[in-house]
Structure 1
Amino acid sequence: MTDLPAELTIGQLSERSGVPTSALRFYEREGLIHSRRTSGNQRRYHRTTLRRVAFIRASQSVGIPLALIGEVLGFLPADTPPTKEFWLRAAECWSEAINDRIARLERMRDRFTACIGCGCLSFTECALVNPNDQLAGRGPGAHLLR
């Protein structure tokens, strides 16, 4: 087995992480990952950046916004990969937000099913979801989906 290089080019990081180079540049602009520049102005990423990118992608997959991901990654020193303990703490912090998202999606599913069930397909006149157009009094917006 050969030794892994201490630094990766953006192409190598992209290939190994499965993340397009454009997304890696965006992550860097947002401060989620860091690189150093060579004398030829090429990016070089510490190989621990692979774990950071994995953390970012896993967090995004459950709906965590990049701003929150960045806040959490801000607690890690540069070139330090997220540890198991770090992942567990982040998951604990985000469990309430994830549960809220699940509850919101379930409400949306249930409202959608109820609307299709009545057959009228009109939120203005629907006797089940919006009797007497009561929701109009709350102003514009999708009040039932919140």
Structure 2
Amino acid sequence: MKSEKIRVPQGLGVGQVAERSGVAISTLHFYEEEGLIESWRNGGNHRRYSRDVLRRIAVIRVAQRAGVPLKEIAGALKTLPQGRTPNAKDWARLSAVWKAELDARIEMLTRLRDELSGCIGCGCLSLKACPLRNPGDQMGTGGSGPVLLSGGDGR
């Protein structure tokens, strides 16, 4: 009777993942602590990663570049069955949500840019008329007095 060898997945070492993904080893460890990626330890107690971690890291990096906070990325990745790496369909769903948030952020920054020149000259002598700090006198609905100091603007 011929003995069969059991193949144990070797995985990628932390240095290999760092080199291939362009991410520092310390960042990989941080991602793991935050639950964004997973590894296992081999018999020599070396950290190992499955090859699909490279795609997962790419998704994380693209989302970060779009300004998505890591907590949101982690939450989105946790919605995937059994913590798998996002496929094209998953990416379409995740990126659609992030795209809407990015569009809102772009709109706000564009408005800020367009209204900034008027703000520079005003010296903020009138918070009632300031289109950046108090557009449409929204703070006036919070009553009189130090609305900004009491947190009446939601901050």
The two structures have a TM-score, normalised by structure 1, of: 0.77
Identity %: 41
User: What residue is the counterpart of 2:19 in the other structure?
Assistant: 15
Deviations 1:15-62 (A, max 9, x none): 000011111100000000000012332210001000000000000111
User: Map of 1:117-132 to 2, 5 A cutoff?
Assistant: 118=121, 120=122, 122-124=123-125, 129=130
Would you say the 8 A contact 1:8–1:45 is kept in 2?
yes
The two structures have a TM-score, normalised by structure 2, of: 0.73
User: What residue is the counterpart of 2:112 in the other structure?
Assistant: 108
Q: 1:48 to 1:124 in 2, by over 3 A?
A: same
Selected match of 1:94 from 84, 90, 98: 98
C-alpha displacement of 1:111: 2.9
Q: Which amino acid aligns with 1:102?
A: I
* Counterpart check, 1:139 vs 2:152: no
Selected match of 1:26 from 16, 30, 39: 30
SS at 2:43's partner residue? coil
SS at 2:35's partner residue? coil
**Matches of 2:103 and 2:13, distance apart in 1:** 38
Equivalenced residues, count:
133
Higher relative contact order (CA 8 A, sep 6+): 1
Structure showing greater Rg = 2
Q: 1:36 to 1:127 in 2, by over 3 A?
A: closer
Q: 1:115 to 1:26 in 2, by over 3 A?
A: same
The RMSD of aligned alpha carbons is 2.8
User: What stretches of structure 2 of length at least 5 have no aligned partner?
Assistant: 1-8, 140-144
Would you say the 8 A contact 1:9–1:44 is kept in 2?
yes
C-alpha displacement of 1:101: 1.0
User: What residue is the counterpart of 1:40 in the other structure?
Assistant: 44
SS at 1:44's partner residue? strand
